[in-house]
Structure 1
Amino acid sequence: MANAGQQIGHLERGVGLWGALSTNVLNMVGVGPFLTIPLALAAMGGPQAMLGWILGALLALCDGMVWAELGSRIPNSGGSYHYLLRAFGPKSLGKLMAFLFLWQSLLVGPISIASGAVGFADYASVFHPLSATHLKLLAMALCMVNMAVLYRSIRSIGILSVVVTVVVLATCCWIILSGFTHFHPATAFDFPPHAFQISHAFWLGLGSATLIATYDYGGYNNVCLIGGEIKNPTRNIPRAVLFSIMIVAVLYLAMNISILGTLPWREAQHSRVIVADFMQAVHGAFAARVVSLLILIASWGSAFAILLGFSRIPYAAAANGEFPAIFAKVHSKDHFPTVSLLYMGVASMLMCLFSLADLIAGLIVIQTMLQFLGQCIAVILLRRQSPPGPGSFRMPLYPLPALVALLGWLYIVATSQMKHIAVGAGLTVAGTVFFLIQANRAREWPFQKA
Structure 2
Amino acid sequence: MSSSTISDTLSNDFATPIAQRVQQRGLLARLRAATCYVALLVSFLQINGLQFLFLPLALLPPTRPLYHMGIRYTKAAFGIVLVFMCQAFAPTKFRVTYEISGSYSEEWLEVDPKSGSLMLKLPKKLVVISNHQIYADWWYLWVLSYMANTHAYILIVLKRSLKWLPVLGWVSDWYHLLWKLAAHHVTTTADRPEDDEPLNFLLFPEGTLVSRDTYPKSTKYAEKMNLPHPEHLLLPRSTGLHTTLLALSQLPSLYLMDVTMLYPGIPVTKFGQDYYTLRSIFIDGVSPPEVVYHIRLYNVQKEVPIRANGTDTNTGLTMEQRKHLAHSMSKDPTMLEIGEEDKVVFDTWLRERWREKDQMIDSWLKRGGKGPIATGDNIKEVVLPVKLRSIWELVGPFLAFAPIAVAYYSLSNRSS
TM-score by length of 2: 0.25
Structure with a larger share of its residues in strand? 2
Higher percent of residues as helix: 1
TM-score (norm 1): 0.24
